[in-house]
Structure 1
Amino acid sequence: MKARLILEDGTIFEGKHIGADKDVISEIVFNTSMAGYTEVFTDPSYAGQAVCMTYPLIGNYGVCLDDMESERPWVDGVIVRELSHIPSNFRCDMSLQDFFEKYEIPGIAGIDTRKLVRLLREKGTMNGMITTNENITYDEIKDKLHAYTTGDVVSKVSCKEKYLLTGSKDLADNGPLSGSAVFNKEDYEASLKGDLSRREKRPAIVKELNGKGLKVALLDLGAKKNIGDSLAARGCDVTIYPSNTSAEEILGDNPDGIMLSNGPGDPKDCPGVIEEIKKLYASDTPIFAICLGHQLMALATGADTYKMKYGHRGGNHPVKDLATGRVYISSQNHGYVVDVDKLDKTVAEPAFMNVNDGTNEGLSYVGKNIFTVQFHPEACPGPQDSSYLFDRFIDMIKKGGKN
């Protein structure tokens, strides 16, 4: 079956239909990762977006359910040059085509993804429609394309009630394991019925349980599973809270530290969350924030954010630690950034910088036990270069909150 991608500037790409047979209007973004597509498609930060994968062949190793970063994929649609329909991998549970059909995700294959990415880099991120209706014209949907926004997607992807991940250590040769929420096949089937109680442990790259006995509150703004995993793997007991949880409830549970997670959409579409973060900022509890959490903390303390031309999405973005001069390769997924030109340096100081374009990648808060980063130290997919930041967070807690 034929399919088309119609962009808001009138550009039309023609290709082959993949996935579910339905039309979708979404924000079109691109990801430069060469592998890890299962993690990308199940990352809640992609809610409200259709993702173009720049690597030309996607799906060759199928879908391994253990690699899912959420209970389900959150992308609106998928755009690829070529989709492999015959995956080959001993860990494969299903093909990407079956995965897309299962979750009713439409897509298009066979288009020139290089041309699409060049267009998005030149003109900036655009909205678009993926459709199998050959009779739809640009003029018919032009207004809808221009009017589309992701809206309040944080409440959509956040957990609905709080739950606990406990830190643990396996006595086998592979060392520390996380008390994670990563699914095996039985967990996956249970999750489809709404049962999230089944959990499976998986290896974590840590040397010791340096967070044993610590209680960490994780505000789920669209959190990837590996954020909770990374803390639980270090021995922390992690309580995950829905995005609409009040600061009073979180602080009332007396956590040793607080994490603000990644998430989708425009940070300025979260005024209620920002008000609660202001209260968390005013407390003496150490805080570590990632991606959307980093942006919301900045907004809560009087800074500003703006939309990037086409964002950073992939597993190869270099970031520089301004304190040490050391550069790390990072995993990233964001379309908004903190405006350092409007940053009150008496409140927060830039801590990390993107080497490619000079945009802000992290902040250290003056006189506070708070640091935040724009990139993903938990990775999945991506390099583990900056996973040490979880240890830094734990050390900050242990030292009485001295950053």
Structure 2
Amino acid sequence: MANGSAPIPTPQFPTHNAPRVWLVTSGDSPIGISIARQILSHGDYVVSGIIQAEFENDGARSKEFKGFLAEVGRSPGWKDRLKVVGLDIRNVAHCQAAVAEGVHTFRGVDILFCCTSEAVIGTIEELGASHRTLTLVRDQFERNFFGPMNIIRAVIPQMRSQLNGHIIVLTGITGHLGTPGLSMYCASNWALEGFCDSIAYEIAPFNIKLTIVQPSVEIGILTNQVTSAPPMKEYSRDYGQTAPMFRGILDGLLNRLPGIRAEHPPPPEFDIQSPSSEAERQSGPWLLSRPEVVSMYPPLSAGHTEKLIAETIHAVTAIGGHENPPARHIVGVEGVASVREKLKTVSEELEEFVETSVSADITKQGGGASRLGVVDIDIKDLESDVFDASLGLHMN
């Protein structure tokens, strides 16, 4: 993740002999707007998908997208290379219509950038406490797994017919790492990555590439809608809970945002008129810890958002349409280190598995090979490959 002291990387695009047509889901998200701006500035074409109802509700996200449209109108040549379409990727017909619109308007779709996501926060008991919270679980998978599957399935026939295409799916390191309080969010990411890893082999003969881009968890959470289930006291520190629940971590971050108390007043029991300590300043509004379902877009400032997503935008522009793109790219050194640590854990678990299974399951065959090929995996080599492949696109 980019920080205040690091320079914001300049987006770069692979060389190509003709402009490309991008289809961007969640075109009104911070990442969708930023990538569209860079694409149009580069001279490519954009089909930007938005949910019409959210565009018309005049909320913060709607205002940001309308501001972007005003910028498009002021920039020579941009208006003719942007097509805005209604797109809820949970709707199969919407997905098919968006692809058809790209083909009709710009004669094809070269790159699909799927950046639609939503985070549901809650422990497994909290999410199973009522019919309402169970619905949140289904909604999580509709938006984070079935939605991307719908738009990918809709674009493949077009890319197959033109024998060329690149599908970029934005997930997160939560596709590798579990997080307390984010079980359903992590599960939907794992499901999506398993789906993408599998179909990559199916579409490769048609010259269609697929890349999974994994930014830090902050990117997926802070740039999209967050929905929190009502908390249970049994999962609080007051009741001996030692695992740091993501709800508390995110609440602490939201409470540091300028103006958050004015925009979201805390309930009376948390209201401190004249905070005298850091603990008091962070004592409210505890937006995600209230005893009801809370849904919101984290109110980051434009400056904070731009710094947060800069490295991810840099990675996507460098990868999009590349002749030989990576199958997976982890954004940020912190993410690479986290996944590398996970691989070390897997290596240790494999060694323990071998030791405990020798007497029960593993028999030596001719030539000294074991019956379970997994024993021969060199995890250290895998760690090195992951690190080297991901570091190439990071900021210097």
Higher gyration radius (CA):
2
Superposition TM-score, scaled by structure 2 size: 0.26
Q: Greater helix percent: which structure?
A: 2
Q: Greater strand percent: which structure?
A: 1
Superposition TM-score, scaled by structure 1 size: 0.26
